[in-house]
Structure 1
């Protein structure tokens, strides 16, 4: 993959690499013969169990105020990649990934924008004997049918807020599709790691955290709740893209705040870290 045109870090700014790509909101890929990839990384230990290859897809319908990769919002900013080329590139890593109890994680952007391409890539990874993980907001979870989810061993589900008003302010969409997807994953018994981005002054209200904790705690399929502290690492992208970054003066959460929130999840009965 190192010589591939999509061999970038998630932290690199990508713009207008595929100016003729379809519009994200109306995109439909019935075959998945090509995909638009923002970047990929090898050696990740944060995006699922073991050592992972993480592929970051372009395209997202959310507009998170704290997004550190706003250059993943549109397909046109990614690199167009034929499926067979992506599969061959992944195959080069399959043996060492198996040896390190790792696998493939597909993130974004939002992988479910490019439904059929990501389904085919997950299926190819399973054929290679790799563990598979889907990193998603759940907003498009209804698109992933049971056959899609059979190709996925673990879902990294971002529950960005509980209070509907806070959710709308934070991401520009409604929370209900994510809640419905979480409930469906619980009914299927699909392993899930819930991820919650802790943003001071935005998502840190104790009642907001408590709502997520009480919702998640009874779900036997949820293996972990991961509290992710807000950071400013993506601020330069907003500036470079001419976007209004409302959180420019927001600090990272203090250790005490992080400990309080993790404690709330644990007190509700969640395994949290």
Structure 2
């Protein structure tokens, strides 16, 4: 393991968990009351603050900075969410998204534990970058999986070198997470952003499609066409936008990606 990775491992193990009145505090970027694309059904979504990766296509660079944002307890999240419970139906519930929620894993465990006690469906939206089998982090992840019903997992790029160019990090540990989730049969929806000149290459799409086929727990695969709706944030924040001039993929390229990823083979989400 490289020096940068070892420093990161030490930091996530030694991180002091913020508390207030005996509850874990989370740093929240924003919330959404009626999320329709963040897991099964209609969902209350808490977008957590902080992310290590610097994805070139990220449309929310304002979520990158850690230990900032609105400080909220798990009870405060539930107080915001529960008035909308009548709209969730049988499939909906609460989703924790990001930023990267696994950077605040203790908060996720506490919130989802409370959710399961009152019968709320729980969904975790993650890119998996913080995942490690090292202790004590892995034990926390195992505990989180006990109270998580489903995960939305973004696989940014199947090739690790290209993944590093695109996000700043390699992908080996992310794929390890996918394989662990498959081993414990935890339901997963996999998402892949299709970006011209970055991810829209048939050889990589075929590799990703073949890789997903090795997993036994995938209920849905989604191709998300790259868009430029977040570019203005980079300009406002004075951040260089590395995909300047790249346009969204043509519809036929989206259909091609869906074919190579075998999207139609994954229908388990219709049974949820």
Write out aligned runs for 1:1-273 (5 A).
Answer: 27-29=15-17, 33-97=24-88, 99=89, 101-142=91-132, 143=137, 144-266=140-262, 270=266
How much has 1:87 moved relative to structure 2? 2.6
Per-residue CA deviations over 1:2-44 (Å, capped at 9, x if unaligned) read xxxxxxxxxxxxxxxxxxxxx9997442766211100011212
**2:105, 2:141 within 8 Å by CA — same for their partners in 1?**
no
In 2, Cα distance between equivalents of 1:53 and 1:245: 30
Per-residue CA deviations over 1:47-106 (Å, capped at 9, x if unaligned) read 111111111000111100000001111134411123332232223333432x35310111
Per-residue CA deviations over 1:211-230 (Å, capped at 9, x if unaligned) read 11111113221011110000
Per-residue CA deviations over 1:148-170 (Å, capped at 9, x if unaligned) read 10111001011100111210111
Q: TM-score, structure 2 length as denominator?
A: 0.85
Change (3 A) 1:165 1:197: same
In 2, Cα distance between equivalents of 1:267 and 1:101: 21
How much has 1:272 moved relative to structure 2? 11
In 2, Cα distance between equivalents of 1:214 and 1:177: 18
Higher helix share: 2
Q: TM-score, structure 1 length as denominator?
A: 0.85
CA RMSD between the two structures: 2.4
Structure 1: gaps (5+ residues)? 1-22
Per-residue CA deviations over 1:105-136 (Å, capped at 9, x if unaligned) read 11000001111111111122222211111000
Counterpart secondary structure, 1:220: coil
Higher mean alpha-carbon deviation, 263-272 vs 124-133, is at 263-272
**2:30, 2:47 within 8 Å by CA — same for their partners in 1?**
yes
